[in-house]
Copies of this chain bind each other. A is one copy, B any other.
């Protein structure tokens, strides 16, 4: 997935509405998140620095927060380490194996039923893509037994 001209224009005008400015760094971070699909702030930083080594990790953090507020990216907590960011629209549920740490992606709609139950019984609006589900993957299950 690549950042299109359209998306850049949209970003620029969204920023403008809020008295914020379009900068090369913001484009680079958005590009990186879209190119990498899933990535920690650290990884985004490395990717951005391939083209522009002067960009500081502080800016990466600030820009990721900003893009998240604007609804352009989201983060999920996969396992123990740093959160991973992905572009809006690129959403799925993460299955994390707590034995081998492999991450598998499955469609969000697997959680539709659960989301319905939580909504009806608890008034809770589930955000399926935000959190990883933990368990044991097929390979590790086989190995165990």
Using a CB–CB distance below 8 Å, which chain A residues touch chain B?
Answer: 77, 79-80, 83, 95, 97-98, 104, 106, 110-111, 113-114, 117-118, 122-127, 130-138, 141
Contacts and interface: CB of A to CB of B under 8 A. Distances in A.
- Between A80, A98, A104, A134, the greatest number of chain B beta carbons within 10 A of the residue's beta carbon is seen for A134
Contact of A124 (B104, B114, B123): B104
Given A98-B127, A124-B138, A131-B134, 10 more contacts: A77-B131, A104-B124, A110-B118, A111-B114, A113-B113, A118-B133, A118-B135, A122-B138, A123-B138, A125-B136
**Copies of this chain in its oligomeric complex:** 2
Given A77-B77, A77-B80, A130-B98, A125 B135 contact: yes
